Chain A
Amino acid sequence: MRRRILSVLLATAVLAWPAAAQEQSASIRGVVKDVQGGVLPGVTVEARHVQGAVTSAITDADGTYRFPSLLPGRYMVTAQLASFRTAQVDNLELLLGQIKSVDFTLQLGGVSEEVVVKAEAPLVDTKQSARATSIAREQIDLLPKGRDFTSLVTQAPGANGEGKSNGLMIDGATTSENRYIVDGAETSDLVTGGTGKQVLPDFVEEVQVKSSGYTAEYGGATGGVINVITKSGTNALRGNALFYLEHSGFMGAAPSGYQVGNPTLRLKLDDASQAEFVTYPKDRYSRMEPGFSVGGPLLRDRAWFFAAYQPTYEQIRRTVTWVGDKRTQESATRDIPSQYVSVNQTSQLRPNFRTRVAYNSSWTRTDSVGTQQGLPAADGSDMPGLDYNFGTTRPNVSLSGQADWVVKPSLFCSARVGYFQADRQTYGIPTGSRYLWRTSTINMPGVPAALQKTSGAVNVPSNTAIDFDKQERLSFQVDSTWYGRFGGEHAIKGGFQVDRIANSVNTYETGPYAQLYSATDGSRRFGGMTGAFGYYRFRVALPTGTSRGFSTTGEVATNNLGMFIQDAWTVTSRMTVNLGLRTETETVAPFQPGLDLLTGLPAQGTIGMSAIKFGFQDKLAPRVGLAWDVKGDGKWKTYASWGIFYDIFKMQLTRGAFGGDKWQEYFYTLETPNWTTLLDPVGKGNCPPACPASMGTLIMGPFDYRAPSGVDPGLKPMRSQEMSAGLEHQLSAVAAVSARYIRKWLDRAVDDIGTWSPDGEIYLIGNPGFGMRTVACGPDLGCNPSVGLPKAKRIYDAVEMALTKNFSNRYSARVSYLWSRLYGNYSGLDQTDENGRTSPNTGRLYDYPLQSFDGKGYEVNGPLATDRPHQVKAQVIYQFPFGSTLGMNVYAASGIPKTREIAAITGSGYPITRRRT
Chain B
Amino acid sequence: MAQHEFKMGGRYRLEISINILNLFNQRVATNYWATESANGKYINFDEPAFYAHQVDVAALKTTTPGWAADPRFMVEGASIAPAPGFQMPRQARLGVKLLF
Contact = CB atoms under 8 A, between A and B. Distances in A.
Interface of A: 142-146, 163-164, 166, 237-246, 250-253, 255-256, 260-265, 267, 272-275, 277, 287, 371, 438-439, 455, 517-519, 521-525, 776, 778, 784, 786-787, 833, 835-836, 850, 853, 855-858, 883-888, 896, 898-907, 911, 913-914, 917
Nearest to B79: A264
A903 B42 contact: yes
Given A246-B93, A267-B72, A523-B40, A855 B79 contact: no
Nearest to A251: B92
Contacts of B86: 262-263
B16 to A, nearest CB: 10
B47 A241 contact: no
Interface in B2-38: 2-7, 19-22, 25, 27, 29-38
A252 B42 contact: no
Nearest to A888: B1
Top 9 A-B pairs, shortest CB-CB distance:
A252-B89, A252-B90, A253-B89, A855-B57, A519-B40, A275-B71, A835-B83, A903-B37, A163-B83
A144 B100 contact: no
Given A251-B92, A252-B22, A521 B82 contact: no
B47 A885 contact: no
A244 B93 CA distance: 6
Contact of A907 (B1, B47, B71): B47
11 contacts: A166-B83, A265-B72, A265-B77, A267-B72, A523-B40, A857-B54, A904-B42, A904-B43, A904-B44, A906-B45, A906-B47
Nearest to A438: B39
B73 to A, nearest CB: 8
A839 to B, nearest CB: 12
Contact of B82 (A525, A787, A835, A905): A835
Contacts of A913: 35
A371 B98 contact: no
Contacts of A887: 1-2
Contact of A523 (B2, B4, B36, B66): B66
A787 B88 CA distance: 43
Given A146-B21, A900-B34, A243 B91 contact: no
B85 A265 contact: yes
A145 B100 CA distance: 23
Nearest to B4: A884
A167 to B, nearest CB: 9
Contact of A252 (B39, B58, B91, B96): B91
A523 B42 contact: yes
Contacts of B19: 144-145
Contacts of B61: 902
Given A273-B68, A786-B51, A898-B34, A244 B80 contact: no
Contacts of A253: 88-91
B57 A902 contact: yes
Contact of B3 (A255, A262, A884, A896): A884
Given A242-B98, A246-B93, A836-B82, A455 B21 contact: no
A507 B95 CA distance: 40
Given A163-B31, A884-B3, 16 more contacts: A163-B82, A240-B97, A242-B97, A243-B97, A262-B85, A263-B86, A272-B38, A455-B39, A776-B51, A778-B47, A883-B5, A887-B2, A902-B35, A903-B42, A904-B44, A907-B47
Interface residues of B, number: 75
A903 B64 CA distance: 12
Contacts of B46: 906-907
A275 B75 contact: yes
Contacts of B81: 371, 835-836
A264 B33 CA distance: 12
B3 A240 contact: no
B89 A883 contact: no
A786 B41 CA distance: 30
A801 to B, nearest CB: 24
Contacts of B25: 252
A371 B34 CA distance: 21
Given A262-B85, A371-B82, A855-B58, A240 B1 contact: no
A762 to B, nearest CB: 16
Contact of A242 (B48, B79, B96): B96
Contact of A251 (B51, B80, B91): B91
B2 A267 contact: no
Contact of B36 (A525, A850, A900): A900
B12 to A, nearest CB: 10
Given A244-B95, A255-B91, A902-B57, A277 B84 contact: no
A787 B61 CA distance: 24
Contacts of B40: 439, 517-519, 521, 523, 525
Contact of B89 (A262, A776, A853): A262
Contacts of B34: 833, 898-901
A629 B82 CA distance: 46
Given A143-B1, A245-B93, A911-B42, A850 B35 contact: no
Contacts of A858: 53
Nearest to A240: B99
B83 A886 contact: no
Given A242-B96, A857-B55, A907-B46, A901 B35 contact: yes
Contacts of B1: 142-145, 886-888
A791 B96 CA distance: 55
A785 B40 CA distance: 32
A896 B31 contact: yes
B24 to A, nearest CB: 10
A250 B19 CA distance: 12
